[in-house]
Structure 1
């Protein structure tokens, strides 16, 4: 493209709105001299293709041609339209691609994760769209950091190598420059390119020629546009002779510099991409969108995209395992670091309201949609009809309204007595922050302010504390899928219409803020907080007492102190049982404390072992006080029990909740069997300084990783010798599958390995968590197949296929990545299901040649697959075997 054509096209692009542009601005945009641009503009004016204004400065614009074809929108145009902060970068990119005769070499600057690679790929698409490169023009990417510690190998990757150039160079091999001929070579982290490599590159940029490593007599040519990228200051990290040959430097702004509107657009696009990949609609709650808009995202667009992909993957896994009816993301399920974005409500509320419809519950992302679809809150025309229909439903079960009133009145009054009248000076606002989720406290602040304004009165602190504590238990009940029914709903509505109307609005505010759906019955409870606030408190009942008893000089008191410190109140009581103190003396101390406390609500005893477990029955009989005993104690149990007691829960509820932490209490037989099974997977920690160090790393991992201990286990191992460690790893692998190893040195095994430093600085923790999460997803496939296979038992097929795949991996000495593992398992399971119903065969093109090419693998799979054929009475053809081989070959390339 000639320079004058470049000037004309850019002028046409920049003056579409009818406004003209001066020669200086156009020249700066194109990166050309003003004199040349001015000369070209005047020539175009003399040809009648452009017009210019009178006066100074002279503004040029294109003469409109009504018969001219409509301009198409390029990929780069769309990027600029959706991301205003990239306008300058986009215009620079266009100039770099269109500059005659072959474009300008470019350096892209920006922080990690801003999208430098993506921007370079869009430049490549733009070059093809503008016919500057052919449709099949290559786009080759290379990260210089991958080979930074081996400059010779790095240069051979880029420039190619001549046979014998160095030890191991056993054949001539082309480099990436040759592969990129006619297209673009993108060098990421170019600052890691050694000085020798930079010099070779500026020679290539100057002359378009290069030599492979080791060549002296052959000079090669290639037409390649170089786009490089770095996170560093190019002045300090690159040779000046190199940077002088890069005329175009483009800076990509960080995510924090791009504004909320752009971030909103990125989030929408990423969800649309995931919808396309999953081939399914994705629903994202309004609060989840708010959190994604506002959370701290230090690794920029790359982290934002990865976080969204992870959220979608988890939601999709829940959908496949029938935990959810749709692929749906709610804020309650977000990781804490994303959820923290919701705490920026004051700072970002105006932006949220501008970008997000406050009457919406969910954003709906569909791969085919152009515009964003919102699911709005359904508002009933007559909300009282909802109440009446609820009462009618209960009456249809044979329970009359009058009987309901009499039956439930006492319980409902007790409910409010517990949550409103029992709030006292022991729980202040600072303490509440340790007990209640901050998101709940935020919405309580809002509804109290709103209610005071609407009711024209100041609510007491009892209402604030009461609603907060009540809401915490209500949400927990909903998450357990327990119904909330208020038989006095109609009575509250008719007797207290003003308070009830305010409560209805508060209900909507809670639903919107916390991404939950509350029944209308809950409005009746909220209304009662406003009504009863005018009454003087009745004599409150005392809360359930929490007493810890454990053997040792300070075991019990230490656990009580930790729980009380964390919860901000002196509540739990510890009674130590030193080994030299008789059980009777401990019991006498316990009796004295209970007599002095005069607590009628009862006590929960958390004890460790021995005679202490029998104290509950003795206290109940002698002092006539309700007692429950949990025959095992840890700090976690103490904290949860104390928290529940401070919130006003009754003795039975506290006992059930605390007992459920470790699974004691009544369990079915299947549950007991599960507890007796050994974990299937292991993470092994290896140390040379003794098993104590390995155990310390184990404890560290258990504190930072989330996993089901019935399935996963961290095993500490002390290193004696290299042969010893291999033997011990082999012994562990006979009982469990080892997921990864934590070790300060390399171990010659085909397993992911992380150093102690990577673990302790938390760099490896996220990777290990990802391995665990992926493996957990794979384990859920049995449940998925159970619902999706029609002709065979999904769980049995899953186990048989899993064993088949493991046998193939062992015999071929390969380890499949999780994506391929899931793929081959689903594929074989569906093949079996299909063949059981009918023997419809599929064809694999060039089957015989494919089998001859991979004869050894074919024999292994054909041999192992006979067990599946025999068990399910099916015949698996060679065509099917070839498709199965694909999975293992792709993994082994």
Structure 2
């Protein structure tokens, strides 16, 4: 017996009328209070136990729940198949009908799950005690023997020796083997008329004869469940169907609704994940395709298509084509991908199930829960504080200034967080994403807090707090520190909410058996403060203005974006060709004058003078404005979505800029070339790290203008990765020296290797290669005739940066040198007017590598525009070939 069952049984045995507390029961059973308290709270969630609202908490048995019937197999089935409630009621009636149930005919298209439903009826009969535990369930497909009626009948009824040529012994049929149980006859319409007549005699009188027997009658106690895809009125004898009182119709996949279809998809992917013993990542476009494609053979085909996609992804994983079991839409069959192009996408349903902020959906092989994998994963408040604090302290900012600097980030986080989870999750699936026990605790907290604060909290707070406490529990389990830099401010400004939050800490600690610092009360209080009444006033969102040439170009893009996102947010300014730019600018001025936003605006324009509007508005109204030129609908959607959620203007601009396939050269913001850094890490004191630095300086030949050695002294090992990431934003870290391994792709060397001078030659090689690459601007200056070498180097650097972002792979420096040299010489050659070199079998090569082709083609566009050259597909193929030969791994772009 499990511990939780022992606790439950003893609670029933010794429980007083008012209940007993966890300590009393723990002492009585010789168990720890933490384990007893945890199990009692789980029993509360299951409804078997009730607890008081007093202190200490008293637990009693919920006898109302005890008296309820246990959940049956059909009840569990209906959770994922709501549309089959009528069919289930009929099935229960057929099994329970006295004395031995009713024979049943199941109707439905191919693949709807008739066989599975018949098996559920069998399992329900076992649970209900209508048949014995060892009773058989036999499946027979009549179509397998439809071309040989005699053999078909012999399979069913059995054979007497000598009944026909080859019948050399007596043989039982399936009716005899099914004695006391259920015989399922699939495709029963393929049973010949003679067989149907023989079968209804068995149903009527419970007697039959084997083939060849004329005198001996045999008795049968078998329940028959039959299934057919055909119209029974035209394909079965009337005398046969009259013997079947219960007819059950299983709806097709189209009739079962989109919510239910997604549940099936989720179930099948989870099954495959368990079968592979690995997580399976499925792109959102793949799910959308599976969600909408014309699945002619219903649930059976849907399951098969999902199994095939998982098998293909697993094969790619084993052959090292992919680092994880990942399914993209390009991996699906063509007929499945057609689901992406359906006109009726049922967007509101889709967004409520998946949300619009996710790129992959991860099916976990260790549980039945799914995990969202965000394209740009939303950080928890704890991670934001850790990262920001490390970054600011690295710059020498004091703790007092740090608190003030972080105030805006913390406030914006809670406002965005509450709003975002409400948009992405609905009540029906919150418990699929967060432990139901945590949700139960949140419900208790909110119920208590509403009474204390005299407030009614919205679902936004319910969702936000559920996910926040899930993150909190994970952090505590991993022994991570919880710090709230704004604790004093929150305590002073929101006294009531903070005091209630302190009491909520006790509820959390009691239920989850964890110890929490006072700082956490400050975070919980923010959820109480930022309820639905004032959240909109808390977030000062930036505006989105789309300005484009044409009578309705801007309007069309804005309508598409707003409709897709289900909000009226972005604003359009059409610029007809017969209207002066000054008139359009005046309209923009008038709009901004009436709707001035301190957070600023992002202007999405197409070309020409419209791209200068941002500078004018920024100067006149003294508000920040960012401009993205060569706008597309994709940019409008991204800008609108993130602006409406309260993202910072710089972040919106950066994210929109990253998805731009090309930009005008004058709009490009160049980034300064980072200097190199070698990082030495020691946890025994700064002196040790400095000693390693001096050892490297003595033995390496480095240019201190290009490379520096940075010693780091760490107190907590777990913080090193965030420190490395923060430092990597300012420096190009080329090597790390440490006595422990760090989760990074940067080359690492142990202290022993460095002290013994065994690693010096390898580090020197890295420094030399990196220095050669950084010096390529000057090298190209002496080799190129028609363009300036240093400027070309900067442009090629930008091209490579785009490539690396698109393929999500960092290119090794040795390879960068070759790629840079090739592209620079190509620009110089084309600029001089030389003819391009033809690439053999170009069309076939592009067709086989479409993903890489579009990445390279789009990334080269700004070079083509700047240098006024025509980069033919032949040249693109040569560049692709170089990248391929470097054995770079890349993922094909999602459609």
**TM-score after normalising by structure 1:** 0.43
Q: Taking CA–CA contacts closer than 8 Å with sequence separation of 6 or more, which of the two structures ends up with the larger relative contact order?
A: 2
**TM-score after normalising by structure 2:** 0.42
